[in-house]
Amino acid sequence: MDTQQLSRRYLVLSLLALTLSVPMLICAQEEPGPSTGASLSQALVKQHEGWSNKISTPGASIRVKETGREGSQARYSFYVSGLPNDRVYSVVSWPINQAHPVTVMEGVSIGKDGIVSCTGRLEGECTDPSGDSDNAVDFSFNSLSGEPNRLALVSGDQRAAVIVVPNPITASDKGCTLSAERLTPHFEIAFFTGSGYPQDANILFDSESYGEKHRLETTADHEGKIHFAMLPFVSGHPHGTTHIKAAATGCSPGLKFDWGQ
């Protein structure tokens, strides 16, 4: 087994371990099928949340800079800190329509100011794909609304992961923010994060779709952040729109998203 295969295997094993490490709250209006049952949904949510804050080597991170858009296509440069720049890396992606991460590019390096590049200066490194002055790799995404693009640079036990959402679903109210991400292609599983809430505050989470209303309570953490997931499908409907509000004393951001075919 070569180094790239070992790197990918190490990342997959790290993801599997995350199923036991990230607490999560799940609520469901309707379970659309066995593949999105509550237990499987919870495992997927934990793995997703762990992608950026558990996969990375301690101290390693990726900063993302948008470099252009053409229609629904968005382009980015990645800037890495906390990883050695004297080795080559594989770029690993975990699309929302696949069960496990896959290697999408090999032989990139960390160049000037931490930019992910193809300079050809190291053995096994790729050559410049664009011809620009930084030899930068152009990361391009054509994403649905709320679709997360999960990527990581991997070389042995050195890793830095990031999630890019080119078309976010977000709302804000009086300093509080709420975001929704689709963890599956048709939003069978919706993942929500919030910030700016009062520390340790009780949060009322209300959802409505096709007249079905649901309410649950959760609690913001010591940093005023919340996270939870839901299965938004409603029985008898192949698609629809769900309205969400996460309210606390002083703020109540709300948003909506479309699910289904």
CATH number where 178 lies: 2.60.40.10
128 and 224 both lie in a single domain: no
Is-contact 76 65, C-beta < 8 A?
A: yes
Q: Give the separation between CA 51 and CA 137, rounded to whole angstroms.
A: 21
| Cα distances (angstroms) measured from residue 188 to each of 29, 32, 119, 232 | 11, 7, 41, 6
Same-domain check for residues 160 and 180: no
**Distance from the first to the final alpha carbon of the chain:** 40
Domain count, the chain: 2
**Which tens digit of pLDDT belongs to each residue from 26-71?**
555 544 444 445 677 888 988 999 997 789 999 999 999 999 999 8
Q: For residue 234, give the nearest of 254, 217, 211 by alpha carbon.
A: 211
Which of 164, 187, 214 terminates a domain? The answer is: 164
Return mean pLDDT, the chain.
86
Is 183 within a domain? yes
- The answer to whether residue 48 is domain-embedded is no
Q: Which domain holds residue 136?
A: 56-164
pLDDT in tens, the chain (261 residues): 344 444 444 454 455 444 433 334 455 554 444 444 567 788 898 899 999 778 999 999 999 999 999 988 999 999 999 999 999 999 999 999 998 899 999 999 999 999 999 988 889 999 875 555 678 999 999 999 999 999 999 999 999 999 999 999 999 999 999 999 999 999 999 999 999 999 999 999 999 999 999 998 989 999 999 998 999 999 899 999 999 999 999 999 999 999 998
Residues 149 and 176 in one domain: no
Instruction: Confirm whether 182 is domain-assigned.
Output: yes
**Residue 31: inside a domain:** no
105 with 134, same domain: the answer is yes
The CATH number given to whatever domain includes residue 72 is 2.60.40
Query: What's phi and psi for 19, nearest 5 deg?
Result: -65, -15
- Per-residue model confidence (pLDDT) at position 42: 84
Domain contains 188: yes
Residue 194: CB partners within 8 Å, gap ≥ 6? 176, 177, 178, 179, 203, 220, 225, 226, 227, 246, 253
Please check whether residue 146 lies inside any domain of the structure.
Answer: yes
Pair 142, 225 in one domain: no
